[in-house]
């Protein structure tokens, strides 16, 4: 096992999860009175649990977090905050276009997690430290997240671009 590459890879994915959680929380707060808000609360809980599994993998493999890794997490958090300044058809309020863009971004994060768990699953076959972790379960869970996010994204697009009422 190339420990250096594994550390970099896991730190990168940990940072992405920090950004994902921050974005899910922001989107949830803007949609808290709708079923989308409930879904996003559920998604946050599941991603937080997956994040703890990444930390467990780091612990099991002896990968110690670095200053660089913490900086990546901080950068992901800041990037999410800066993303709020993107103009989405309104100057200071949340718009239906904001929802579309946020759900697209959350979908990209879910796709990243699918790849993470799949890569760890194939790696686990050659590293006894990673055996007994249900990477396939987390991959399938992330696929479920992606499928549900895509449904919400499609509904948001209908509302934003066609003025129709979405189901979310």
Residue 165 has pLDDT above 80, yes or no: no
Three-state secondary structure call for residue 118: helix
Four-point Cα dihedral 150, 99, 19, 143, nearest 10:
-10
**pLDDT value of residue 67:** 61
**Nearest-angstrom CA–CA distance, 60 and 66:** 16
Place of tokens 């949340």: 94
Domain ranges within the chain, ordered by starting residue: 3-162
CATH code for the part of the protein at 3-162:
1.20.1260
10 Å Cβ neighbour count for 110? 22
Three-state secondary structure call for residue 78: helix
CB 102 within 8 A of CB 20: no
Mean pLDDT of 23-42: 95
Question: What one-character DSSP code corresponds to residue 129?
Answer: G
Mean pLDDT of 20-38: 94
Model confidence over 53-110: pLDDT tens digits? Answer: 999 999 999 887 666 666 666 766 666 665 655 556 555 667 889 899 999 999 999 9
The alpha carbon dihedral of 155, 159, 164, 168 has a sign of positive
Higher pLDDT, 3 or 53: 53
Place of tokens 């697009």: 157
Of 86, 105, 82, 107, whose CA–CA distance to 95 is shortest?
86
Residue 42 has pLDDT above 70, yes or no: yes
**pLDDT value of residue 131:** 87
Model confidence over 93-152: pLDDT tens digits? Answer: 678 898 999 999 999 999 999 999 999 999 999 999 998 999 999 999 999 999 999 999
Whether the model clears a pTM of 0.85, i.e. scores above it, the answer is yes
Higher pLDDT, 164 or 84: 164
The alpha carbon dihedral of 148, 39, 20, 123 has a sign of negative
């Amino acid at each position: 096992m190339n420990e250096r590459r594994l550390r970099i890879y896991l730190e990168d994915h940990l940072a992405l999860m920090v950004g994902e959680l921050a974005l899910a929380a922001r989107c949830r707060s803007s949609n808290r009175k709708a079923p989308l808000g409930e879904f996003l609360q559920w998604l946050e809980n599941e991603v937080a649990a997956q994040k703890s599994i990444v930390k467990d993998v780091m612990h099991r493999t002896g990968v110690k977090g670095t200053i660089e890794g913490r900086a990546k997490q901080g950068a992901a958090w800041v990037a999410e905050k800066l993303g709020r300044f993107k103009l989405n058809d309104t100057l200071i309020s949340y718009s239906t276009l904001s929802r579309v863009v946020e759900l697209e971004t959350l979908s990209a994060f879910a796709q990243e997690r699918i790849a993470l768990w799949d890569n760890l699953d194939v790696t686990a076959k050659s590293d006894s430290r990673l055996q007994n972790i249900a990477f396939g379960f987390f991959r399938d869970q992330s696929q479920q997240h992606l499928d549900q996010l895509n449904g919400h994204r499609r509904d948001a697009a209908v509302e934003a671009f066609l003025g129709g009422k979405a189901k979310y």
